[in-house]
Each structure stands twice: as structure tokens, then as C-alpha cells.
């Protein structure tokens, strides 16, 4: 299924991540998933939150650079073979995964994927009864 993800540009300095979460927390926005990709100078914080539109507006009001991106969410059993199976389906169709991250709860994992062709990826995953 498609979910909305916030992508936030952050300077790579102490306190920036804490400030984002403080701003969201003050508005009772729940963080469902979080990933940070960084370099020495900046990072991209990716968040799945309870209210992406509200979160985007609040972060912009607080001078953060933020965008909403559509990503694919797939629920699978936690074993690595299931993650590998999803990636193989996409690879076999020459669908490139731009980035991915996952989180687990109990026996299930939620895998987040951003592909070069999300529509084709969703179609392939549906055909293979993955979503």
C-alpha cells in the first residue's frame, strides 16, 4: 500500500533531530517509522507519522525544509527471506529500489520502499500477493 512519508533536510549538527521530534511531539503527532541518511554536512530524515500534512505544515512553520513523498509499505513475517523475496520480485522486473528501511513489531516487519517506478512495483507486489 502507498503511505505518505516526510523527507526533512537537516544540517548535521547537534540538536536538529531532537528539535524536529520536539516540534512534532508538541502537536501530539505520532512517529510510526524513522530513518536518517547522513553525510558529514547534512542528513535526510525520513518519517512516517500519524498526520503527514499537519506535520509538514508545522515543520515548515518552524523553518524546516520538508516534502511529502509516496512510498510503498509492505507487511511481512520478520525473517530475512521475506524481505529478500520482495526485492527479488522487483529486481526480476528491473524495478530499482532507491531506498528502503524496515521496522518490526512482534512477528511482523513493515518494509518501506521507494522505487524508481512505484506503480509498477505495487502492481508486481499485488500480483505476487505481497500486498
pLDDT tens track for 11-23: 888 899 999 999 9
Q: Write the DSSP string, the chain.
A: -EEEEEEEEEESSTTHHHHHHHHHHHTTPPEEEEEEEE-SSEEEEEEEES-HHHHHHHHHHTT-EEEEEEEEEEEEESSHHHHHHHHHHHHHTT--EEEEEEEEETTEEEEEEEETTHHHHHHHHHHTT--
Residue 110 clears pLDDT 90, i.e. is over it: yes
| Domain co-membership, 45 together with 19 | yes
Number of domain units in the chain = 2
Give this prediction's pTM: 0.88
39 — pLDDT class (breaks 50, 70, 90): confident
Same domain for 59 and 85 = no
Domain that holds residue 13: 2-68
47 lies in the same domain as 95? no
Same domain, yes or no: 58 and 103 = no
Mean pLDDT of 109-129: 95
User: Do 90 and 103 sit in the same domain of this protein?
Assistant: yes
Q: Of 33, 49, 68, which marks where a domain is finished? A: 68
Last residue of a domain, one of 68, 90, 108: 68
Amino acid at each position: 500500500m502507498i503511505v505518505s512519508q516526510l523527507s526533512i533536510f537537516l544540517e548535521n549538527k547537534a540538536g536538529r533531530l531532537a528539535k524536529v521530534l520536539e516540534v512534532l511531539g508538541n502537536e501530539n503527532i505520532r512517529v510510526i517509522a524513522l530513518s536518517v541518511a547522513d553525510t558529514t554536512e547534512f542528513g535526510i530524515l525520513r518519517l512516517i507519522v500519524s498526520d503527514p500534512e499537519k506535520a509538514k505544515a508545522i515543520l515548515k512553520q518552524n523553518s524546516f525544509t520538508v516534502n511529502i513523498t509516496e512510498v510503498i509499505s509492505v507487511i511481512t513475517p520478520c525473517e530475512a527471506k521475506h524481505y529478500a523475496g520482495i526485492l527479488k520480485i522487483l529486481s526480476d522486473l528491473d524495478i530499482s529500489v532507491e531506498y528502503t528501511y524496515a521496522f518490526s513489531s512482534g512477528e511482523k516487519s513493515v518494509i518501506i520502499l521507494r522505487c524508481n517506478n512505484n506503480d509498477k512495483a505495487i502492481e508486481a507486489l499485488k500480483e505476487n500477493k505481497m500486498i
